[in-house]
Amino acid sequence: MIRKTDPQTIAPYLTDGSNFSGGSADEVIIPESVDELIIFLKSNDRPITIAGAGTGVTASCIPESGLIISLERFVELGNIINASVDVGPAVSLAQLNDYLEPSQYFYPPNPTESLASIGGTLATNASGARSYKYGATRDYVLEADIVLADGRALSLSRGDTIDQPLKFSDGSEESFPEISYTSPKCKNAAGYYVRPGMDWLDLFIGSDGTLGIVTRIRLKLLPRPASFISGVLFFESEEASWHLVSSIRNSDDKFINPCSLEYFDRRSLDRLKNKFEDIPLDAESALFFENDINLQEEYDLALEAWFDYLNGKGVLLDDSWFAQKPNDLKRFHEFRHTIPVMLNEENSRLGRIKIGTDMAVSDSHLLDVMRFYKGELLKKDIDYVIFGHLGDNHLHINLLPETHQIDQAHDIYNILVKQILEWNGTVSAEHGIGKLKKNYFSQMVGESSLEELRSIKKMFDPNLFLGRGNIL
């Protein structure tokens, strides 16, 4: 076991993508085996924060006090067996994808940050652009080995439901408490996942490192598609792109079945023109789409189906981009990932903060929520950019206030949250709650539900050692 106590060696563990400041830890513990971890936990009496790759944006891995446990030595990659693979929690998405590249399989979840650890993506139930078709991390976790704060260990598999007691390696058991709270039905990464008859495994996925320490994960893989049809569609209005997504959902054409539908508003395109000069001048919005093709011989039929389908739907077809070769697909992915990078660079250059949303609603409210966002944002003289997962009704509103506008920006955020909750939406669809969105999560579930969720927390961590300050 490696132990770090020098403040200079601890400092790199006190940051993540949120730029949250004020974290503090006495020590970093780096176990080199599960046995070492268990032995340490059985005698530990300090709060614990689990360190991942530091790519999260809600400060969940930044401790308020106590110690940090880093699982950076847990980087095993097992053999591919029965369309699944065992991975250590510190394996990154990039490492997993490289490992799978020579095989016939792929791992569908593709969060923007390829350096994110698999353990971190499990902790937040991360998703990515392809979640429209393929879902989130939860849909691909088959098994997990978990160690609780007191050193008890358990192995969970699909089919181990909360209707049956949870059995630990020391022979002890726990039963799921009787609670009325259930998670929203839209895309969601806010708080503990709770549904009647669910698997115990689902409780730990998205728990922000507050219930247990995951030491092994078995992931489900899917056969790799033969190819992808992909493109960037430009529109003569913003509403035209919104309506296209609604139309796609209702299409019964077998070839109109995208896995990604990513949105960019006019303000996104204005910035992207600095790098992608061939963006049409009259484009008011854009959609990046991908459609996986299982049989290569169907590629031309599918491409023709897309062209026919897009006719008359407000798409600037002559000016839109369609992939003709592998480099095109790479360029389109670069297009998709560039805007958040540009905003971060812009904010850094101007000394400006970004206040970003991660909210989502159900399909029935797509047009409502887009019109609501635009209406509220135009009421204030604050710069903003909208992009994100339109197929999931999950947009990232990036408020870019000047220093004197920060309070106004928070007021706008609160107005957006209030309406999203009236539509039974979520305050976090992919980033998690962490330390930064607890107030919004409290509004979302209410005090009585918070108490129910605290009872779950206390069942696994009665001393409240794990992930202190996260979620609850």
Both 274 and 415 in one domain: the answer is yes
Both 318 and 400 in one domain: the answer is yes
Q: How far is CA 387 from the centre of its chain?
A: 15
**pLDDT tens figures, 248-261:** 999 999 999 999 99
Asked which of 43, 70, 97 is the last residue of a domain, the reply is: 70
What is the DSSP-derived secondary structure letter of residue 226? S
Indicate the average pLDDT of the chain: 96
Asked if 249 contacts 157 with a C-beta cutoff of 8 angstroms, the reply is no
CA distances from 68 to 9, 149, 432 (A): 12, 13, 20
In which band, very low, low, confident or very high, does the pLDDT at 22 lie, cut at 50, 70 and 90? confident
Both 272 and 240 in one domain: the answer is yes
**Is residue 161 situated within a structural domain?**
yes
By residue count, the chain amounts to: 472
Asked which of 223, 257, 287 is the last residue of a domain, the reply is: 223
Structure tokens at 59: 């400060």
In which band, very low, low, confident or very high, does the pLDDT at 170 lie, cut at 50, 70 and 90? confident
**pLDDT tens figures, 260-289:** 999 999 999 999 999 999 999 999 999 999
Asked if 347 contacts 355 with a C-beta cutoff of 8 angstroms, the reply is no
**Is residue 359 situated within a structural domain?**
yes
Can you spell out the DSSP letters for 27-51? EEEE-SSHHHHHHHHHH--S-EEEE
Asked which of 154, 188, 223 is the last residue of a domain, the reply is: 223
CATH of the domain at 154: 3.30.465.10
**Is residue 471 situated within a structural domain?**
no
Q: Round the CA-based radius of gyration of the chain to a whole number and report it.
A: 23
Structural domain of residue 348, as residue ranges? 227-422
What's the pLDDT at 6? 97
Helix locations, 196-274, DSSP H: 200-204, 238-249, 266-272
Distance CA 393, CA 390 (A): 5
Exposure class string for 153-173: b at 16+ Cβ within 10 A, else e? bbbbeeebebeeebebeeeee
Both 241 and 385 in one domain: the answer is yes
CATH of the domain at 333: 3.40.462.10
**pLDDT tens figures, 143-160:** 999 999 999 999 999 999
**Is residue 429 situated within a structural domain?**
no
State yes or no: pLDDT of 354 exceeds 90.
no
